[in-house]
A and B are shown apart, each in its own frame.
Chain A
Amino acid sequence: MNEILVKKNLTPVTKLIVVKNPYVAAKAEPGQFIILRVRENGERIPLTIADYDREKDTITLVFQEVGLSTILLGKLEVGDRILNLVGPLGIPAELPESGTVVLVGGGVGVAPILPKAKELYRRGVKVISIIGARSKDLLILEDEMRACSHELHICTDDGSYGFKGFVSDKLKELLDGGLKCDEIIAVGPIPMMRATCQTTKPYGVKTWVSMNPIMVDGTGMCGACRITVGGKTRFVCVDGPMFDGHEVDWAEAWLRAGMYRDEEKVALESCQCGGGK
């Protein structure tokens, strides 16, 4: 259980691992996540399921090494086991059966977009994907996304590859150009999802986002992951992780995401595991 079967470096800071877990592989649906713990004194961290293979009993996780736990996870090699892994958690994404969907993925957020793209493509929905990163070397899963998109647009902030600008800029260009779509799904860092929602609001297109807040248990018990949606407090772990992006209180979500920024630095310094670079 939880053995790492494949490990790939997608970028200098982003890794992909394929993990054996028959339970999660059997039940996972697009939009769901898992919670894992790397070591006995480790934190519980949520990661979105980037792919799953029911036949091989595996799930795929993609993560950016941004904090202590993800750095420790990145140090595990093929053959190592993840100490604890529980899931699939959250409510699966409600994906349409027909029509046109625009998928917008920023940075490591392209990974959670992938299973949705695959499923939509399989259903015969027209999939238009916009994926981006700060620069060409940080872009992930381009080939995989191309294989399940009818149109794929690539953006980089510095223009080193594809469209120069944010994914939300590209989306605006497409919408201004007369693109008609039934809904938009955006996944990525909070500023990227917020910008995407601000872009789509005037066009009145339903825009789903996938939230990734701080969590502890991931089953509704603690409420660490609460956000405000449409003026009401919701728990991302049991009510989400997908929400109507036009209803999300982004300012609050951003502040809450930074609640432990000081402690994260302390943790990195004290472990001397090569983090914080």
Chain B
Amino acid sequence: MPVKQRTPMPMQDPAERAKNFSQVALGYTEEMALAEAARCLQCKNPQCVVGCPVSVQIPKFIGLIKEKKYREAIDVIKETNSLPAVCGRVCPQEHQCESKCVLLRTGQPIAIGRLERFAADWEAQNGPVIPERPASNGKKVAIVGSGPSGLTAAGDLAKLGYEVTIFESLHEPGGVLIYGIPEFRLPKEVVRREVEYVKALGVKIETDVVVGRTITIDDLFEEGFEAVYVASGAGLPMFMHIPGENLNGVYSANEYLTRVNLMKAYLFPEWDTPIKRGKRVVVVGAGNVAMDAVRCALRLGAEEACIVYRRSRAEMPARAEEVENAEEEGVKFHFLTNPVEIVGDEKGWVKGIKCVKMELGEPDQSGRRRPVPIPGSEFFMECDIVIMALGTSPNPIISQTTPGLKAQSWGGLIVDEKTGRTTRERVWAGGDAVTGSATVILAMGAGKLAAKDIHEFLSGPQDKW
């Protein structure tokens, strides 16, 4: 009989880690990895692989770990996943591969993400093998954005011999992995390593280029690129359109996290970008971004940091592990609560937030029960920082500057789901630019899909779009 409980992840102590930006989950030791790998039943028809958006050969790599063949294990993962050290840390495995694990019937599923991370970190410590660069096929592909979707597509296409250039608008590659996800969950060193791997495959990355402004998609075709993959990511942060949202002390989660992660505002004044360190911080929303923001607020010295969410605990979109981590660190949760107004002082600074209590009514379009306000239940919470983590709508710059490229009314680019093709010939799109805020792994899956179709298109007669 396999062990019912998975091998626990060693963690930094909650009280300690709530004050620093170092990694929370420390990673399996070799002994832990072997113990966990031994639990895998090596199913003949593995459902975990079906649950993985990039189809990592999960039983195969776990089997190799069992045999202590770590180099071979990471090679198996990298056949389908260019960013294993990232995915091992940030994928919502409980909704994907691990949700299909046969061990769930009798106990806890195998800790696939933790083993993936173990293999990736083993490689980083023992020296990555520089991949062999395939001979160029002479065809140039441009990729817009160096986040998880763009890096994945770039890696896959480079392996097929394409000359790939990624255009990145920020000064550092990595997209949301760099500006969005905090150091304590995904060290930037890990991201840089993954970016270096993609570069070692022959991919060029040009930073400080905003496609749509610095250079247009039409320009790219004129420069000889034969296909363009748009993976420009999350765009404009959403706000609630309630009074007081432009008071000083109100941030979008995007801004708050960009200041902290990309610009290292937690090291101010050693780093030049400032951030407001609040005493009482309210984060509105309950996705992964909200968890990241509220945990950053604690680490920046907040005496109290809380989540305000209009639905109940069960509907929270965040990864279960991150919610647990946040609770251990002291984050408070106000469920069934919705802000109606942010209240400011006479100098234009936030001094509190007015909320209303909610109850769950009939299911809405998303299948979740719709929260409705309880009349007369308004109450006031004191706070000095409010962070809106309500998701984003895709950036309009590219759709506005590319003739023939059509977008949904809410901004998402329109694509064929099976191929990633947009309404403009030779332009593919995927990731948050198409779906709005989603996950790293879904964006990577879209990158894979597009890379495959770009290859099929460019190696075919190229006459049908």
Q: A residues bordering B, Cβ < 8 Å?
A: 23-24, 27, 37, 39, 41-44, 68-69, 83-89, 216-217, 219-224, 226-228, 233, 235, 238, 251-252, 255-256, 258-260, 263-264, 266-267, 270-271
Contacts and interface: CB of A to CB of B under 8 A. Distances in A.
Contact of A87 (B170, B214, B251, B392): B214
Contacts of A256: 246, 248, 348
A23 B272 contact: no
Nearest to B256: A222
Given A69-B272, A238-B396, A256-B246, A221 B210 contact: no
Category for how many chain B residues contact A? 35 or more
Nearest to A90: B213
B397 A260 contact: no
A130 B241 CA distance: 38
A194 to B, nearest CB: 15
Interface stretch (B184-192, B230-238, B365-373): B230-238
Contacts of B170: 217
Contacts of A267: 268-269, 272, 274
Given A216-B258, A223-B254, A224-B255, A23 B209 contact: yes
23 contacts: A27-B215, A43-B263, A44-B171, A83-B171, A84-B171, A84-B207, A86-B208, A86-B210, A89-B210, A216-B273, A219-B169, A220-B396, A221-B179, A223-B237, A223-B239, A223-B252, A238-B396, A238-B397, A252-B246, A266-B269, A267-B269, A267-B274, A270-B269
B214 A221 contact: no
B376 to A, nearest CB: 28
Contacts of A255: 248, 347-348
B270 interface: yes
A185 B347 CA distance: 30
Interface of B: 169-171, 179, 207-210, 213-215, 234-237, 239, 241, 245-246, 248, 251-252, 254-255, 258-259, 263-264, 267-274, 276, 347-348, 392, 395-397
B270 A41 contact: yes
Contacts of A89: 210, 213
B64 to A, nearest CB: 40
Contacts of B208: 84-86
B254 A222 contact: yes
B148 to A, nearest CB: 16
A31 to B, nearest CB: 13
Contacts of A42: 272
Contacts of B397: 219-220, 238
For the complex of A and B, the 7 pairs showing the least CB-CB separation, nearest first, are A263-B274, A255-B348, A222-B255, A86-B208, A84-B171, A270-B269, A223-B252
A197 B214 CA distance: 32
A9 B101 CA distance: 68
B351 to A, nearest CB: 14
Given A223-B236, A267-B274, A233 B246 contact: yes
A238 B398 CA distance: 12
Nearest to A216: B258
A264 B276 CA distance: 12
Contacts of B396: 220, 238
A23 B214 contact: yes
A259 B236 CA distance: 21
- Chief secondary structure at chain B's binding surface: loop
Contacts of A251: 348
Contacts of B276: 259-260
Given A216-B263, A221-B234, A238-B397, A88 B271 contact: no
Given A84-B171, A221-B258, 16 more contacts: A41-B271, A42-B272, A44-B171, A84-B208, A87-B210, A216-B258, A217-B258, A222-B237, A223-B252, A233-B239, A238-B395, A255-B348, A259-B276, A260-B276, A263-B274, A267-B274
B269 A216 contact: no
Contacts of B264: 41
Given A216-B259, A255-B347, A260 B274 contact: yes
Nearest to B388: A223
Contacts of A224: 251, 255
Nearest to B349: A255
Contacts of A263: 268-269, 274
Nearest to B206: A23
A182 to B, nearest CB: 27
B214, B254, B348: which has the most chain A beta carbons within 10 Å? B214
A223 B255 contact: yes
A215 B254 CA distance: 12
Contacts of B272: 39, 41-43, 68-69, 267
Contacts of B245: 233
Contacts of A43: 263, 272-273
A273 to B, nearest CB: 11
Contacts of A266: 268-269, 274
Candidate in A223, A228, A255 with the most chain B CB atoms within 10 angstroms: A223
Contacts of A44: 171, 263, 273
Nearest to B254: A222
A219 B269 contact: no
A263 B274 CA distance: 6
Contacts of A24: 214
A219 B246 contact: no
A96 to B, nearest CB: 22
A83 B251 CA distance: 27
Contact of A222 (B209, B252, B269): B252
A39 B237 CA distance: 28
Nearest to B176: A221
Contacts of B241: 233
